[in-house]
Amino acid sequence: MRDLDFDHKAEQGKAKKAALGTDIDLSTFPSDPVHHDYVDDLTVISEEDRKRMLLAGVDVSETERSGTYVQKDSSVLHSHSKQEGLEVIPIKQALEQYDWVYDYYWKLVQVDTDKYTARAQLDLHDGYVIRALPGSKVIYPVQACLYIDKENLSQNVHNLIIAEEGSELHVITGCATSGHLRRGLHVGISEFYVKKDAKLSFTMIHNWAEEMMVRPRSVGRVEEGGLFLNNYICMKPVKSLQMYPTTHLVGKGAVARFYSLLVGSPGSTMDVGGRIFLKEPDTRAEIVARTISNGGEIIARGDLIGEVAGVKAHLECKGLILNGGSIHAIPELRGMVDGVEMSHEAAVGKIAQEEILYLMSRGLTEDEATATIVRGFLSVDIPGLPSQLKAEIDRAVEESDKDMM
């Protein structure tokens, strides 16, 4: 049951360049589907693929996971929920089977935003719908993996993440490419719904390849008393990454926190932002970014918009330039009325020699001292994040400093 209206709108957006980021010639990235068989047992996935997935936080053994979705190229490899009150469904299947999906599909992201959103409608491969039913607490994270194996493929996915009223849901999503892949495009639409008094944490780890182009488009909506934690980690090389996830706090007391850790390697361009609209009293927003340029180019944007009195918002953007490259921090605050409390701090610098020497006087070599400081710089305490996800983030940080040093 395809909605022709979306197709029609998408056609109109097909040629539209994105507001930010290098324009991509989509004709060089075909969307032709690549078939892979569905597997019931995740352990049949090849050792190599498994390792790549694990680096992105997706563990095929499903230890301490409450559900799994794995998509390779355009095909769903696996999708299931281990817990009652939790649904994990491929989006194409969901669109065919459930009318309620249309209450969410393209309701936050506009299908004609740009050529990438248009492609995600016109050439949709698949994607996941993850939903925690009202009141259900999904303590172990649900894991989702979007994996690209086919050279030059444009992988087009659309995801819906819904935390129903009073529920708690943690999702870790890893996007990765197979070891041999060099070039490809990932277009990912994500729409987040955090309903009244629900709690959603969404942790995304990206492990791309050197010639990968990445264009996620995501928007969230948080209702009264809801909490949305959005963590983004990208520490591996990527040719071009541009995204500006946006969240609307539409209910009293709603909270959103965005944390991102970025490492820009040589040849990588990352333009990553976060935008939060505070539309109701007592809403809170926080955006924290830690960026390291290791020779790449990073633009770290942040935009907080306080529309009513009694909101609080803070933006923190810290950058370290380690081995050349550049970091451009663009923090923006917009207070629209009296009575908003908004602040930001941004800093771009280098590692202080004094800190390196201090650690050296405790016996570390200069390289070890530098690595320790970098690891500390990237270690951000994220309140409310389950320990499994904290461990995944720590692991990504560990991996990245092996590469950096």
Partner 1 sequence: MLVVEDLRVELGGKEILTHIDLEINSGENHILFGPNGSGKTSLLMTIMGYPQFNVTGGKVIFKGVDITNKPVNERAEMGIGMSYQRPPTIHGLKTRQMVQICAKNGVDVEGLAGKVNFTDFLERDVNDGFSGGEIKRSELLQLMAQNPDLMLFDEPESGVDLENIPLVGQTISKLLQRDIEVDPERSRREVREGRTKMGLIITHTGFILDYVTADKGQVLYNGVLSCKSNPHEILKCIAELGYEECVRCAI
User: Is the separation of the CB atoms in 145 and 159 below 8 Å?
Assistant: no
User: Can residue 350 be called a binding residue for partner 1 (CB under 8 A)?
Assistant: no
376, 384, 398, 403: which one binds partner 1 (CB under 8 A) = 376
CB-nearer residue toward partner 1: 120 or 374? 374
Measured in residues, the chain has a length of: 405
User: Can residue 363 be called a binding residue for partner 1 (CB under 8 A)?
Assistant: yes
Least distance CB 276 / partner 1 (angstroms): 24
Least distance CB 364 / partner 1 (angstroms): 6
Least distance CB 313 / partner 1 (angstroms): 22
Three-state secondary-structure class, residue 307 = coil
Report the distance separating Cα 190 and Cα 157, nearest Å: 8
H-helix or E-strand spanning residue 94: helix 91-97
Report the distance separating Cα 271 and Cα 239, nearest Å: 11
Report the distance separating Cα 110 and Cα 114, nearest Å: 9
Q: Which stretch binds partner 1 (CB under 8 A): 172-180, 278-286, 333-341, 371-379?
A: 371-379
Q: Residue with structure tokens 């194409």?
A: 92
User: Is the separation of the CB atoms in 198 and 164 below 8 Å?
Assistant: yes
Report the distance separating Cα 392 and Cα 383, nearest Å: 15
CB-nearer residue toward partner 1: 394 or 403? 394
User: Can residue 377 be called a binding residue for partner 1 (CB under 8 A)?
Assistant: yes
CB-nearer residue toward partner 1: 43 or 363? 363
H-helix or E-strand spanning residue 151: none
Report the distance separating Cα 317 and Cα 189, nearest Å: 25
Q: Which stretch binds partner 1 (CB under 8 A): 27-35, 252-260, 307-315, 359-367?
A: 359-367
Distance (Å) of CA 100 to CA 74, 147, 162: 24, 27, 12
User: Can residue 366 be called a binding residue for partner 1 (CB under 8 A)?
Assistant: yes
User: Can residue 354 be called a binding residue for partner 1 (CB under 8 A)?
Assistant: yes
- Number of C-beta neighbours around residue 20 at 10 A: 14
Least distance CB 231 / partner 1 (angstroms): 16
340, 378, 385, 404: which one binds partner 1 (CB under 8 A) = 378
Report the distance separating Cα 294 and Cα 266, nearest Å: 6
User: Can residue 383 be called a binding residue for partner 1 (CB under 8 A)?
Assistant: no
CB-nearer residue toward partner 1: 46 or 363? 363
User: Can residue 358 be called a binding residue for partner 1 (CB under 8 A)?
Assistant: yes
User: Can residue 355 be called a binding residue for partner 1 (CB under 8 A)?
Assistant: yes
Least distance CB 376 / partner 1 (angstroms): 3
Q: Which amino acid is at 214?
A: V
44, 139, 330, 352: which one binds partner 1 (CB under 8 A) = 352
CB-nearer residue toward partner 1: 54 or 359? 359
User: Can residue 362 be called a binding residue for partner 1 (CB under 8 A)?
Assistant: yes
250, 309, 364, 382: which one binds partner 1 (CB under 8 A) = 364
Query: Burial, 253: exposed, middle or buried (Cβ in 10 Å; 0-12, 13-18, 19+)?
Result: middle
Report the distance separating Cα 246 and Cα 231, nearest Å: 13
Least distance CB 251 / partner 1 (angstroms): 34
Give the CB-side neighbour count of residue 13, counting CA atoms within 13 A: 22
User: Can residue 390 be called a binding residue for partner 1 (CB under 8 A)?
Assistant: no
CB-nearer residue toward partner 1: 40 or 363? 363
Least distance CB 379 / partner 1 (angstroms): 4
Distance (Å) of CA 287 to CA 4, 20, 308, 320: 37, 20, 19, 17
Per CB under 8 A, residues contacting partner 1 are 352, 354-355, 357-366, 369, 372-373, 375-380
